[in-house]
Each structure stands twice: as structure tokens, then as C-alpha cells.
Structure 1
Amino acid sequence: MNKLKADSAKIILTNKILCPEPNEVFKASDMMKDFELFMPQRYRTENPVFHVSLNPHPDDKLSDVELSAIAEEYMKRMGYGSQPYVVFKHIDISRIHIHIVSVRVNAQGKKINDKFERRRSKDITRSLEQKYGLHTAEKLSKERNPELKMVDVSQGNTKEQVENVVREVINKYHFLTFTEYKAVLTKFNIAAEEVKGSHYGNPYSGIVYSPTDNDDNKVGNPFSAATLGKFAGSEALEKKYQTSKEHLEKSRPAAPLKRAINQAFAGATNKEQFRYNLFQSGIGVVYRENAAGRLYGVTFIDHNTGVVLNGSRLGKEYAANAIVDRLENPRQYEHLINNPQYQGSTHFNPQQQPQSSQEVQPIHHSEQHLESSSIGNSIGSLFDIPILLNGDDPEGEMFRRRMQRKKKKGRRM
């Protein structure tokens, strides 16, 4: 609705919603009243709101009439044909897409059938792609793997950029802690932080994402995970940690990553040269320093395989203290550079503790093809996140302790 005022969106279709007079504008409050009048005063459905976005490929040029027909057929086949709904067309980014908002409760107070909702939605969108001759999801995924772009607030569609990057990072990369997750996001000009109690004077507890510039300074407005979607929230990340753990145990990425890191030390006399050498191999590195400029943590990001690991997970030679020492005293580590096959254990164990760590703790201060999204719930599961108890992940350690306290109290996440 806010984009209507900014002329970056318009309403192309309504069903059982009173339309305003020609000189009047749609108001969110009026729409909500129409939704409420349709439903009985009492119903048992906890979340009565239905929202879905349909995202044609940018090369699919569809008129408002065609988009309306697609939305109407989609809603009928999903079982919402008799429900009140509004179809918004967003034109604020290159990929023109539509959002449909409706209610899950019918006039009798019964919930619209949501069994196998995601599967049914995917089948319907595939059918609509064929009917209207659109680019298909399967064809696009095989043809190309779009490169993630850094967030640029000057483009004016910051929320969409942040949402797209966060979604793709969660899908593409494998990380075990919030610190490792944050490290990846910094590469795309996004800062993430856990907030408890309030944010900008408003009550909120959860994850907040802020766009940054190339110098890691926060710019523009921050977005809560609730604003972006459940996929960006704490519960979804907990589930991601578990799937990443299973993936890393099977793929055993330690050996090839160590080889690349060892080779990057050749000719490097400072952190920036080391960073550049890693970049040549498709590996990113994020340094964490305290207020005095002392390096206390390092995270390696293999963009080729999506593996994200704090240095201490790989062994003492790859922890923050060792990185500084290896740059200052390269001869002591020549055996690693000259013999890249020397890796010690090649089996990666996400539960393993770093062999040694005396690192300084930081000073803490007080849409693509025609695809449906935002349907259903993301269910997270509580598990013991593998944390380096004495390693370079102090924020992860705090999170682990908090999770253990909640677990002891019997709280469900």
C-alpha cells in the first residue's frame, strides 16, 4: 500500500472488495474492513491472512489483463476463488511481479483447505507457465545460476535487494553459526544483528538486517526479519545450521579449503595481500577486530562451494592469532605452503574444538520465474549448534549459552 503512494505499484484486480470512487484512493483500513465483514466474528484459525507473490521472469512481458487473468486462475485453483482478495502489481524493480492478499477463513468461519499447499501451488504455477508460454523454473535453473549482487541503496528498492540477497545466501551457503552467517552477508553490503527487547524505540526481539556501504557503514533503513519473511528469522536459521552440519559432514570441505588458504599465503606479507590472493581462488575472508585493531576472529567463505567456516574450525594454523603470525613469520609455515597436500586430518567434524586458541575477545558495547512464495510456515528445530567454545566465535558462544538456558527451562523454539 505504501508503494501505491510512491507510484511504484497499483491495484490491478479485486474480488469482493468495494472499490473507491474515481477520484478517491484505496485505503488499507477500508480493505481490512471489507475482509472483516466477510468473515464471522468468531473463528478458530490463528493466522487468517493469506499472502502470495507471483514472479514472472523479467523477459516475460505481461499486460495487466494477462497478470489479472493469471492471478484469478491461480486463486480459483488454490481454493480462494470465492474469497475476497486484492492483487497488487509492483513495478519498483526490474522484475515486475504481483502480490495477492486474501483471508484463509470463509464466510462460515471455516479455514480454506491448506493441505499440501506448497506442492499444489508449485503445480499450478508450472501449469500457468505452460499455458501462457512463460519461462519455466526448471529451464531457468539449468540455464544459469544468477550471481548475487551487493545491495546498493542508491537504486531505491533497498528492501527487495536485502530480501533477495538474504534468501539466496541462506539457500546457497553452508554455515553453522550466526557469526559465520553474518560474515557472508557483509560481502553483499548487509549487516545482521540479534536484537532483544527493542529496536529504534519499538518493542522487538529477533534479527535485524541493515544495508551498508562498501566501508561497512550502515546506510538506509533497517529491516526486521519479520518484515522480510520467516525464511530470514531465527527459527529458519536454526534449521539451516542443522542442514549445513549434515552437508559439511558429508562433503568434507576442510582439505581443499586448507590447500587454497595455504597457497594464498605465498607472497603475502599483510592481511590485504592475503585477502587478494584468496580472492583469486574465489574465496572471501572476513576479519573481525576489536576497538584497538587487534584481530580476534577470521571467517573464510568459499564462494565456489558455498562453505563458510571460522578459521579455528580448520585448526590452530588457521585461527586469527595464527593468521597474524603466519604473515609476520612466513618461514615457520613454509612446509604448509610448499607442500599443499599437508593438511593433517582431512575429515571435517563440525563438532570439533579448535586445537588451541588464545584469541583476544572483542570489546562489546551496551522474485525470478513465475513462482509462488510466502505460503505456509517454516518450522525450525532446536538442536545443539556446534560452537567453538574457546575459539573465534564469541557471539556464537553467547548464543549457545542462551539456547542451553532455554532448553533447560523446557522452552520450545
Structure 2
Amino acid sequence: MIAKISSTENLGGALGYNFKKVEKGEASILLAAELYQDREGRYTMEDVLADMEALIPKKCRTKKAVFHCSLNPHPDEKLSDELLVQIAREYMEALGYGKQPYIVFKHNDIAREHIHIVSLRVDSKGRKIDDRFEKRRSKQITDALERKFGLIPSSKVANKAVEETPKVDIGKGNIKEQVSNVVRMVMKHYHFCSLGELNAILSVYNLAVEEVKTEFRGKKYDGLIYVPTDGKGGKISIPINASDIGRGVGYTAVQNRMQKSKQNVKPLLPSVRNKVLQTMRTSPKTEEELRQRLEEQSLRVFIRKNESGRIYGITFIDDKEGVALNGSRLGKGYAANVFNTYFSNPTNNPFLDKTLYGCPAVRLEQSAIVHPSQPNTEESDNLVDELIEDMADGSFLSTGNDDWKEAAWQRKLRKLSKVNIRLRKH
């Protein structure tokens, strides 16, 4: 069961969305706690809205005082209304909203039945309900509810979405909807820290993303476009602006996802690194052999080459964990140029050597813990490698003018060199 929590200041909008579903016969009200019920036992939009608004103090400091959550069981689950009510009650109680007024809607407008809950984030005295680590606590609560009621684990919900999302096929028409389905699924289930990594994920769905920079009335704007591709990455359709797809897939949303991913990928680095290391120690002779052997380790690899055939980018993807990692993010010894050198002469395998670009191979195997508090020159070198790898990836930067990229790249390199100098002084 997956919970999606949001906060808003628009109480009418949150209630209106759900009551409109009820009016259309696409939803029903399962439960209303501490809310007014008319003589016929019904709950109306007007009454519930007035009831909740009356409980929000006029001088309330909390701007987004509305709690809106959806609880999504596995698509194969067929839960009774009674069990959904019990799940909703226990979820709200455990999250700290048990004494708050709230209303529970069951949506059946799609094959996967799910519930929406609307409540208030402040009590009658205007005090905010404790929302510290709310999403983390929510995950712990849904995990506990899954165990208690014998529900299909949420990890299988995510895996099912990944597995059932089809590739973009321009022959089927309605391309924008196909692109939207793919991008929204990827944004929800995958972690990535660069556009190159995002492109590696999208490639399997016959899709690519490009950054565009425009200027309007003297003001510069950053944006994204999504381009359907063929099986080899070639563009085969007109690009679709992210703004035409809707919220959650544009430049700002992707940047925010990258920032959050930087912390989320850290615990996964040792596992992916070790799988790649063990695979490379089998000395695959070709890139196809590498792909096949990585698949045995539940990893996919996305290799980028320039026109002369040189490998300038390599990304490893773990679909089960939902993460894409550029080689250089795993460490200096896993950067694209290492693999380019290896496949140019497979008889010389650096992954078998006692040292790997100055790093003992045994250390690479044992680095199960990331130590961000112990920066060193090697870490900075990895960042430089990563910058070079991403900047060289022309597949997602096609604005027609590369001067700004070169200048930005040089500024980042200068900053990194200053960090190195400070570290050495200490």
C-alpha cells in the first residue's frame, strides 16, 4: 500500500475534487469523523466545508492547514469497505490525526480502487499537528498495516507499475498521453541525480529528455522537452514540451527530484558498485557480454558513445531499487573512460589489478558505508569525472549554443579546485 501525502491551503479544492467524483458515481464516502451529518444521514460538500472551516482559527499561523492523502493498495487487492475504513482509522490515528475531523472517500474511477482522506493540519486552538518526518512515519505505518492485514507489500505495487508501463509507440497515436504515463511513472519510482541518468532510465521506454533555454522579454527561462525515440535512441517524433504534459514533469520538478535523490542513492552505492566490480572481474569481452552478465545481477547498463565510437558515458540502472547511477558516481575507477579503455583492449582488465587507478580493489569491495564527513581529493576527482561525463552527453543538451555550458563547466571546476585546496590545508 502506497500513501501519497500533500498539504494545501485550498480546503474547497481538496473537498471539491472528491465530492465531484461522488456526484459522478466515481467515488463514495466511507467514513466521516467529527463532521456534521444531515437528517438523511448524508454528507454534503457545503456542510463538510463549513464544518471544517469553522474549526480553523481566524488567526491561524499555519498557511497550508489542509491535509490530503491517498492510500493505494496493490491493484490485485480487493478489499471490503469495512477493511478500508479500519485501515483509514488506524492510519490516521498512528499518524497523529485520530482526533482531527476527517472524511474518507473510496475512488473507483480506475481499475485500482483506493481511498482519499481530507483533514486539517491544525487543531481547534490553531496548533499545528506534528508533521515532523511525516512521510517516513507514514511509510512505517503502511508497512505495519500491510503486515497486520496480510496485504501485498508496497514494493510490489511499485514493481508492477514499472513492469506494466509500455514503451512509447508513435504508431498507437495519443503520443502525449503515452509520454506522460512514462515520465510520471519514472518520476515516482526512480532516483537520479542528473539528466544523463534520467535519460538512461527513459531510454528503455523509447523516450529522451532534453534541456532547453529560452529568453522572453529579456528574461531567461529553463525548460524541458520529451522526445520519442526508436530502439537505437534516434528521434522519431516532434518534441513535447513538459508544460504541455502538466505539473510534476517540468524543469523545476526534475531538479527537485535530483536534489532529493542525492541522499536517497547513497545507501545503494555499495551494492551497485560491488555488482559491477564482480561482473567486470569475469572479464566480459564485449559490451553485449557486459549487458548479459549485469542482467544476471539485476542491473541494466546504458552506454553512450560519440560518432567515433568512444564511450563517453555509462550508467547502471537497478530497476528493483529504482535507481540510475553514472559510472563516475560509483567512484573514479568506474568512470566512462575506464570502460572505454577496457573495451579497447579487454586483455588488460584493471578490475583484476591490486590497485584501480590508485584505489585498492579490496577497498572498493568493502566500501559498504558512505562517509560524506570525510571528503578527500579522490571524491573531488570523481565529481570532476562526473561533470565531464554529463557535459559530454550532448544527447540531452541541444540548445544550439554551447558557450554557456563551457562557461558553467569551467566555473564548477574552479569551485572544485578551491575545495581541494581548502581540504589540503586542513
Report the TM-score, using the length of structure 1 for normalisation.
0.57
* Structure-1 residue corresponding to 2:286: 264
Letter in 2 for 1:241: K
Q: Is the Cα contact below 8 Å between 1:184 and 1:301 reproduced in 2?
A: no
Q: What's the CA shift string for 1:33-91, capped at 9, x where partnerless?
A: 66434312221124322122222233431233432343244334544345343433334
* Structure-2 residue corresponding to 1:280: 292
Q: Is the Cα contact below 8 Å between 2:312 and 2:336 reproduced in 1?
A: no
* Structure-2 residue corresponding to 1:225: 248
Q: Which moved more, 1:300-309 or 1:43-52?
A: 300-309
Q: Does 1:43 align with 2:55?
A: no
Among residues 122, 147, 158, which one is paired with 1:105 in the alignment? Answer: 122
Q: Does 1:316 align with 2:330?
A: no
* Structure-2 residue corresponding to 1:241: 262
**Aligned pairs for 1:193-208 within 5 A:** none
Q: Is the Cα contact below 8 Å between 1:210 and 1:222 reproduced in 2?
A: no
Distance 2:132 2:199 in 1: 35
Matched residues, number: 342
Among residues 12, 18, 30, which one is paired with 1:13 in the alignment? Answer: 30
Q: What's the CA shift string for 1:226-276, capped at 9, x where partnerless?
A: 89xx9x6534532432453565368456634545785224xxxxxxxx5xx
What 5-or-longer segments of structure 1 have no aligned partner? 266-273, 327-331, 367-393, 409-413
Q: In structure 2, the residue corresponding to 1:335 is in which secondary structure? A: coil
Q: In structure 2, the residue corresponding to 1:52 is in which secondary structure? A: strand
TM superposition shift of 1:104: 0.2
Question: More helix by proportion, 1 or 2?
Answer: 2
TM superposition shift of 1:310: 4.5
* Structure-2 residue corresponding to 1:63: 80
Among residues 199, 202, 205, which one is paired with 1:182 in the alignment? Answer: 199
Letter in 2 for 1:135: L
* Structure-2 residue corresponding to 1:54: 71
* Structure-1 residue corresponding to 2:398: 364
Q: In structure 2, the residue corresponding to 1:225 is in which secondary structure? A: coil
Q: What's the CA shift string for 1:328-382, capped at 9, x where partnerless?
A: xxxx625248x9846961466654355999969666317xxxxxxxxxxxxxxxx
Q: In structure 1, the residue corresponding to 2:188 is in which secondary structure? A: helix
Distance 1:395 1:30 in 2: 60
Letter in 2 for 1:13: L
Higher relative contact order, structure no. (Cα contacts within 8 Å, ≥ 6 residues apart): 1
* Structure-2 residue corresponding to 1:74: 91
The alpha-carbon distance between structure 1 residues 214 and 41, as it changes in their structure 2 partners (threshold 3 A), is farther
Q: Is the Cα contact below 8 Å between 2:183 and 2:249 reproduced in 1?
A: no
Measured on the aligned residues, the alpha-carbon RMSD in Å equals: 5.8
**Aligned pairs for 1:296-311 within 5 A:** 297-303=312-318, 308-310=325-327
* Structure-1 residue corresponding to 2:347: 335
* Structure-2 residue corresponding to 1:134: 150
Distance 2:316 2:262 in 1: 16
Letter in 1 for 2:116: H
